[in-house]
């Protein structure tokens, strides 16, 4: 059964939206399986730019059904405003096209307030979260006091659950963080209003996708964030609170493992991260300015969700090999290769060094990375602008060498290379 999973191999922002866009054209359905509106997917269609945080970005293909799975946490205000944004662009979104799992959890104003209070209380040790309430919403889920979407189908139960939730939040805000309490009653009215609008979209996503797959339909599971932000497999504690890795797609959509066809890892041609945490190949100064851009262009390295400048560095093959292992990646897509044009030399981190040992993969996962020194292979750069390249042969020799070096080091084929911001700026390899 044909389920394709797209995962980010780095710290998010790999340009997954571009690859999703390509593959969604051939898919019957697209699905989000983890995270919430902390993600930001920018998809450019002609002169329209969509910035989506929650709804699967493949929704811009009008033929595809869209699903949001049980692994996702949903801010109802964001959901409704995205539905409106897409509708205003002339693309239909309605309850026969978008299906949201009854078991997905809600993010409330209480979770947003707690995210802010917790980050402030962490002081210097702050994670640098997106302040979207993600951590507190997943905390409530694991603590078995979360608000599942199914509650929205029964107003009486929903109101009672909301009241209990906001009262607990207020206790925490006041007693633990010395913050002001939230005004509960207007919030209850607000959330009951959201329930009216969202109720028609609530569905059994696991059953619907399983049925689609059994009928031979191709489903694309769209990863958000990236492997190194995975709660278990990322750079803990500088991670998000969900499972962006490929197994998270099965868990977050309610599917068994037998349906997986391809796991496509998306890797930027260099490394970026927003927020705090280890970053062995980070660079500064001129090189960083080149990689990051000035912020004048939509593709420059500034957060889609928060607008923060991203930290940048050379591609880290040690972490990429690790991501290939924990996701079971069968093929790679390389994005933003065009940004590397103009460097005299390009570095690739091929190993880590600590004491007298060289490591191909971090020995205890990617948590304690500060003690390792990156070992670089220095490759010759290229000066040519490559945005108009459409075939492998069109790429400068040194760019081809760069790609071959990555493939050889990872033993996984690179099948798609994005060379510019437009939909058409891509090289597809056999």
* Residue positions annotated with a catalytic role: 13, 41
Least distance between ligand IMP and beta carbon 135 (Å) = 5
Least distance between ligand IMP and beta carbon 102 (Å) = 23
Nearest to 50 by CA among 12, 13, 89: 89
Does 254 interact with ligand IMP (rule: CB under 6 A)? Answer: no
Bridging pattern class, strands 414-418 and 426-428:
antiparallel
Least distance between ligand IMP and beta carbon 70 (Å) = 18
Candidates 7-15, 253-261, 293-301, 401-409; binding stretch for ligand IMP (CB under 6 A): 7-15
Least distance between ligand IMP and beta carbon 245 (Å) = 14
List Cβ neighbours of 85 (8 Å cut-off, separation of 6 or more).
Answer: 50, 52
Angle between helices 155-171 and 109-122 (to 10 degrees): 20
Assess contact for 206 and 253: CB atoms under 8 A.
yes
Angle between helices 397-410 and 317-327 (to 10 degrees): 50
Does 134 interact with ligand IMP (rule: CB under 6 A)? Answer: yes
**What number of H helices and E strands is found in the chain?**
11, 22
Candidates 132-140, 212-220, 248-256, 416-424; binding stretch for ligand IMP (CB under 6 A): 132-140
Maximal C-alpha separation, the chain: 66
Shorter beta-carbon distance to ligand IMP: residue 65 or 335: 335
List Cβ neighbours of 272 (8 Å cut-off, separation of 6 or more).
Answer: 10, 11, 13, 291, 301, 310, 311, 312, 313
CA distances from 408 to 80, 403, 411 (A): 45, 9, 5
How many residues of this chain bind ligand IMP (CB under 6 A)?
21
Calculate the dihedral angle through the C-alpha atoms of 86, 90, 93, 94, rounding to the nearest 10 degrees.
140
Q: Which of 127, 173, 340, 399 binds ligand IMP (CB under 6 A)?
A: 127
Instruction: Return the H-helix or E-strand segment holding 353.
Output: strand 345-354
Shorter beta-carbon distance to ligand IMP: residue 39 or 147: 39
Q: What's the CA gap between 297 and 208, in Å, rounded?
A: 40
Q: Which of 34, 129, 227, 327 binds ligand IMP (CB under 6 A)?
A: 129
Read off the tokens for 149. Answer: 């979407």
Does 38 interact with ligand IMP (rule: CB under 6 A)? Answer: yes
Read off the tokens for 222. Answer: 């769209």
Least distance between ligand IMP and beta carbon 192 (Å) = 26
Phi, psi values for residue 115, rounded to 5°:
-60, -45
Shorter beta-carbon distance to ligand IMP: residue 18 or 218: 18
Candidates 86-94, 100-108, 223-231, 323-331; binding stretch for ligand IMP (CB under 6 A): 223-231
Does 128 interact with ligand IMP (rule: CB under 6 A)? Answer: yes
Q: Which of 5, 7, 39, 264 binds ligand IMP (CB under 6 A)?
A: 39
x-marked contacts with ligand IMP along 256-275 as a string, rule CB under 6 A: ------------------xx
Shorter beta-carbon distance to ligand IMP: residue 210 or 248: 248
Q: Which of 32, 111, 132, 336 binds ligand IMP (CB under 6 A)?
A: 132
Q: Which of 1, 5, 7, 13 binds ligand IMP (CB under 6 A)?
A: 13
Report which residue's Cβ sits closest to ligand IMP. 275
Q: Which residues bind ligand IMP (CB under 6 A)?
A: 11-13, 38-40, 127-130, 132, 134-135, 224-225, 229, 238, 240-241, 274-275
């Amino acid at each position: 059964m044909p389920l394709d999973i797209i995962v980010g191999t780095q710290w998010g922002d790999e340009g997954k939206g571009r690859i999703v866009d390509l593959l969604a054209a051939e898919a019957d359905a697209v699905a989000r399986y983890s995270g919430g509106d902390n993600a930001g997917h920018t998809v450019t269609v002609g002169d329209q730019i969509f910035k989506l945080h929650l709804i699967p970005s493949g929704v811009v293909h009008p033929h595809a059904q869209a699903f949001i799975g049980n692994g996702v946490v949903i801010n109802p205000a964001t959901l409704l405003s995205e539905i409106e944004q897409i509708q205003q662009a002339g693309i239909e979104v309605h309850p026969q096209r978008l299906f949201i799992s009854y078991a997905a959890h809600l993010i409330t104003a209480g979770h947003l307030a707690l995210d802010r209070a917790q980050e402030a209380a962490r002081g210097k040790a702050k994670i640098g979260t997106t302040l979207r309430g993600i951590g507190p919403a997943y905390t409530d889920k694991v603590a078995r006091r979360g608000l599942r979407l199914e509650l929205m189908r029964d107003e009486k139960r929903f109101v009672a659950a909301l009241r209990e939730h906001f009262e607990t939040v207020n206790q925490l805000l006041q007693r633990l963080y010395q913050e002001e309490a939230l005004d509960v009653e207007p919030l209850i009215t607000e959330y009951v209003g959201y329930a009216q609008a969202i109720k028609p979209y609530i569905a059994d996503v696991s059953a619907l996708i399983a049925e689609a797959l059994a009928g031979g339909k191709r489903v694309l599971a769209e990863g958000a964030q990236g492997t190194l932000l995975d709660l278990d497999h990322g750079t803990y504690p500088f991670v998000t609170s969900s499972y962006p890795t490929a197994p998270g797609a099965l868990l977050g959509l309610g599917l068994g493992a037998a349906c997986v066809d391809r796991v496509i890892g998306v890797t930027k041609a260099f490394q970026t991260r927003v927020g705090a945490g280890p970053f062995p190949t980070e660079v500064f100064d001129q090189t960083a300015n080149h990689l990051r851009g000035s912020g004048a262009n939509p593709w420059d390295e500034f957060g889609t969700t928060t607008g923060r400048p991203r930290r940048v560095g050379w591609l880290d093959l040690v972490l990429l090999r690790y991501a290939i292992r924990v996701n079971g990646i069968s093929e790679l897509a390389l994005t933003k290769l065009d940004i590397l044009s103009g460097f005299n030399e390009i570095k690739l981190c091929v190993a880590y060094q600590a004491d007298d040992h060289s490591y191909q993969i971090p020995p205890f996962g990617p948590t304690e990375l500060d003690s390792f020194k990156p070992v670089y292979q220095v490759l010759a750069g290229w000066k040519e602008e490559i945005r108009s390249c459409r075939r492998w042969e069109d790429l400068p020799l040194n760019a081809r060498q760069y790609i071959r070096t990555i493939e050889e080091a990872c033993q996984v084929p690179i099948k798609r290379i994005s060379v510019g911001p437009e939909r058409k700026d891509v090289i597809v390899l056999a």
